[in-house]
Structure 1
Amino acid sequence: MSDVPERVGVVGGGRMGAGIAHAFLLAGARVHVVEQDATAVAAAQARIGGLLQGSRERGMTVPDDAALSVGTDIGPFAACRLVVEAVPEDPDLKARALTRVEAVLGEQAVLASNTSSLSIGALAAVLRRPAAFLGMHFFNPVPSSKLVELVIGAQTADDVRDRAVGWIEALGKSPIVVQDAPGFASSRLGVALGLEAIRMVEEGVASPADIDTAMQLGYGHPMGPLRTTDIVGLDVRLAIAEELNARLGDRFAPPELLRRMVAEGRLGRKSGQGFYEWSEG
C-alpha cells in the first residue's frame, strides 16, 4: 500500500471538499483547502473541524491543527503532490478552477477532479498537462463511504493512474478504475435506478419509503434509491441526469417531479426536505 502525498490541496470546502480534506488529514497528509472568500473559508474550517471532532470522539487519531490550512490563496498548492478540485458540478466553473490551479503546480503534481459525471477528456482539453489529470470521484458522505471511482481519460498517464490507486488505498478506501464514458460506472447505474424510483413516486406506484424498502430488503441495498437521492442532492442528481440525457438519450430524461422539486428548493438533506424530512440542512 502506498502512502498518501505529504501535502494535498483541495479546491472547495463544501460538503464534498471538506470530506476529502478530512480523509487525507486522517491518513497523515498536510492539507491546504482553498475557498473563494472569507465567509466560505470560515464555513469550510468549521465543516472540517466538525468532521475531525467526530473522528476524535470515535477514538481515532486526529492530526494537530497545523496539518490543516484554509484560505483563498492557491500559492501553497505549489508544494502539493496532489490537488483535488471539488467545486460544484458545472463544467465552466470546473474548467476555470482547474486551469487556475494547474498554473501553480509543480511538474510532478497530479491534478484530479471530483466529478460524478462530467467528461474527463473535455476537462483535460483546457489543461497543458492532461497526462497528469484524472477523475477522482469520492462519494457522499466521504467519511463513511468506502468507494472512490478513478476515471481515466484518454491521455491520463499509467503512472498517474497507479499512484492514484495507491493513494486511495492508503485512505482505507476501495478504488475502482473506469474509463471516461458518460456517467462512468457508478453515476450511470445509480442515476438510472434513482430516476426510475422517482417516476414510480410520480405515478403513485408506492411511497418513497416503500420503494426504498423494496430495494433494501428485496435486493440487499444498504440504502434505497430515493434516500440516496436526498443525500446526493436532487439538484446534483438533476444535473447528472441532464448530462446523461444529452449524451446517452431519452432513457435518462429527468422526470418532471425531479425538476419541480429542485425548482421549489426541495434538494434533499442539505435543504432539510426532499423525498424525506431531514433534521439537518
Structure 2
Amino acid sequence: MTPRSEPLLWLQLIGLAAMPLELLLVLLLLAGSDPGPFPALERVLIWGMGAVGPAVLLWRQPPDPLSLLLLCTPQRQRSPDQLALTSEPVSLALKLLLASGAALLLPALWWLDTSSVLAHSFALLPGSSRLVSLLAVVPVLALLVWQWQQLVQATNLLIASGDGPATTTGGALEPRLCLGLPWLRLPGLDLPQPAKPEAAIPAALAAPEGPAPASPEPLESAEPAATTEVVVATEVVEATEVDVAAEVVETAERETVLETLDEETSGDENREDEPNDGESSDQASVDQASTHDSD
C-alpha cells in the first residue's frame, strides 16, 4: 500500500478550497465593528492568540495526518501502513514550512481589517463591539493554521512517498496531535499500478506487424528475445556464406571440366593430323619413284 491509497490524505487537500472562504469569514466578522484607538496593536494581539499560539503547539506536536479536526481514525484500529504514515519524522525544513502559514496570516489579517469597512453592509455581527469581533476571529485563525499544516503535510506525503510503499521508520516516534472523535474508518483506495514503459519493448519486437498485445510482457523477457534475434541473424549470415562458397566451388569445378574437355578435343585433332601427314609423304615418295622410272 502506498500513501496515495490513503483517502484521508486526499481529503486534507480540500483545505486548499476552504481557506479562501475562511478568510472571507474573517473579513465579514471584522466588518461589524469600527476600528479601535490602537488598531495595529489589536491586530498583533489577535494574530498572536489565533495564529502564533496554535503554531507553537503544532511545532511541538505536528498534526496527525489521519485527523480531520472533528473526526479521526481510531489509534487501535489503524493498519500498519497507517501507523507508518503517522510515524514519519518531520524534518526541520518541513517544520519551518508548516510554521510559515502563521507568519503569512499577519499581513492577511492586516489587509482584511483595513478592508472590512467596504463590507460593512454584509457584516455577520453588525453593531457589535470591537472586542467581540476580534475574539470571534481567533478560532477562525486557529482553523486556518491547522488546515495549512495539514495541507502541507498531506502534499509532502503524497509527493515524496507516492511511488513506493510506506515503511515504518525505526527509532522513537514523534508525538502527534490527533483531534476529533475516533469514529472515522475509511477503506483504502484501490489505485491501478502504472505499467513500466520498458515492458512494452519485447512485445513490439516480437510482433511488429500484429495488433497490440492485451498485456505487456515482463521486462525479463527482453534479454532472451534479443539473444534469439542475434542467433537467428548469425545463422542467416552463416547460411549465406555457405551458399556463396558452394557456388564458388561449383563454378570452379565447371571450369575444370571445360578445360579438360578442351584438352581432350585438341589431342584428338592432333592425332588425326599425324596419319594424314604420313600418307602425304608416302604419296610424294611414290610419285618421285614413278617419275624416275619413266626417265
Give the structure-1-normalised TM-score.
0.18
| More helix by percentage | 2
Instruction: Give the number of the structure whose alpha-carbon radius of gyration is greater.
Output: 2
Give the structure-2-normalised TM-score.
0.17
